[in-house]
Chains A and B, each alone.
Chain A
């Protein structure tokens, strides 16, 4: 049997979470057909396990049209499984695909299917996991970004072009407004985040410098984005973005439950706070009780000497 993977591109590159989805499909076994929307060098798709790459050009991001295209490619390859990233595009397409294909959807998988076929995903905003069983013949799995290791398969995928499917559903994309940042927060493996403890927006230089030196993205807590000290897209937490980096460094953030809901799946959490009673320390792997204005410059200096960037 074969697996269809939805591959998304941005600014002429395949997004990292799509490569992870390809690797997820390859690690499940069987033939992997990557369906790439948008122009980009597709060599990495073979590298991480795609046997075939089907390239599609679409005018607008229309979940219905994309889902129908994936289904059509699936039918011509007798595919029974569809895989994609559980990112903003996957969250738009996966449920549409699931309903159109009558295929049960497990969204936000954090591990490969177990021997009994069940798939683990985070529930209750990261406070627990559920092992899901799909009852339909076909299934859709969306994979939480940065939750599985990409494995090199060293294949060279056979490339083809396919036509986008027809869709009766119409919507028009008028404009994309992309942040100028090179490293989208949801793709970052390392994240340096700061909160009200920094006292004012003018004090963010050291956070930005530390992040740059480490090759990390910057994030912030809700009060900081609400007060417009930092842009809204940096807000991580229940109402903001949920992230799962390898390393999350929280500076001057007390760790309210709503904030934890957005970051508690991070692999390693570092908390820097001058209040030893800050609740965040309970969820931290490493902690420093101290003044951010003394601690962060020390980290910055050390990061420079370690040559971490990249």
Chain B
């Protein structure tokens, strides 16, 4: 199977979030960047497992500038065969999806995988847009997938449970918890990643469907109000009369 995994570069989970330029830009000062965890743990690793089971090739794709290359190499170290970087600084999901669709439309991938969302903009948008642009089925929040020939049986998250879907390749899915277990790259993988092909593709013309006008940090939490463990029941009075949530 010919598998394409879309990966995003995001600030590490524990990063301190701050903004510059009048709160219009994310402050990257001192921030460590990683492959978006859901793209890596769930989408990429499941793609590798499928390749290991049925043969084929796993390509990782990133839309970004040359600054992203070290992050893309991390995905190669985990086991992807090759990488593509579409040379554009992405600002919006729609224009990013259009870049990927323009690249992927004649490549004959059997499956395109991405994570359930990115941990920076939390949009959960790319996979669905890509599916629509390629006129393929979209399965969101897939937590389990079995492949039999060209037929995939996929479990996806729905409110209060799971839904089992049968779909033929090619299709697009976003991967969630349950799809695969995270893999840690070994030294051989890291060495091999240095020489694996990373093709840089020129961006096509696209316009941003949305823009971020301004960022805002949440209001500081007031101090925690402590209730004595001896009189724990007072908590519920406070929740009813003061916080008014009961």
Contact = CB atoms under 8 A, between A and B. Distances in A.
Interface in A77-132: 86-89, 91-100, 102-108, 116, 118, 120-132
Given A105-B94, A261-B13, A288-B235, A131 B128 contact: no
A21 B228 CA distance: 40
Given A88-B158, A99-B94, A174-B153, A286 B238 contact: yes
B164 A108 contact: no
Given A136-B209, A267-B245, A291-B229, A92 B128 contact: yes
B159 interface: yes
Contact of A128 (B153, B158, B217, B240): B217
Interface stretch (A31-39, A40-48, A153-161, A300-308): A300-308
A1 interface: no
A298 B233 contact: yes
Interface string A189-205: 11000000000000000
Contacts of B11: 124
User: Interface of chain A, helix or strand or loop or mixed?
Assistant: mixed
Contacts of B67: none
A138 to B, nearest CB: 10
A268 B129 contact: no
A168 B135 CA distance: 8
B216 interface: yes
Interface in B147-204: 153, 155-168, 171, 177-178
A206 interface: no
B236 interface: yes
A232 B144 CA distance: 13
B13 A258 contact: yes
B133 A131 contact: no
Contact of B239 (A126, A187, A247): A247
B235 A270 contact: yes
B140 A63 contact: yes
A187 to B, nearest CB: 7
Q: What is the size category of the interface that chain A forms with chain B?
A: 35 or more
Nearest to B168: A170
Interface stretch (B53-61, B82-90, B103-111, B119-127): B119-127
Given A133-B213, A135-B208, A179 B166 contact: no
Interface string A234-258: 0100111000001100000000011
B66 interface: no
B124 A98 contact: no
B97 interface: yes
B209 A103 contact: yes
B154 to A, nearest CB: 9
A291 B230 CA distance: 10
A123 to B, nearest CB: 5
A125 B119 contact: yes
A63 B133 CA distance: 13
Given A104-B210, A175-B164, A238-B119, A96 B239 contact: no
Interface of A: 8, 10, 15, 61-64, 67, 86-89, 91-100, 102-108, 116, 118, 120-136, 168-179, 181, 184, 186-187, 189-190, 214, 232-233, 235, 238-240, 246-247, 257-258, 261, 267-268, 270-271, 281-291, 294-295, 298-299, 301-303, 306, 308
Given A86-B124, A131-B216, 19 more contacts: A88-B140, A92-B141, A127-B218, A128-B19, A128-B216, A129-B217, A133-B210, A169-B131, A169-B137, A171-B165, A177-B163, A184-B159, A238-B37, A239-B37, A247-B243, A271-B224, A285-B222, A287-B224, A302-B233
Interface of B: 11, 13-14, 17, 19, 37-38, 41, 92-94, 97, 116, 119-133, 135-141, 153, 155-168, 171, 177-178, 207-218, 221-222, 224-229, 232-233, 235-236, 238-240, 243, 245-246
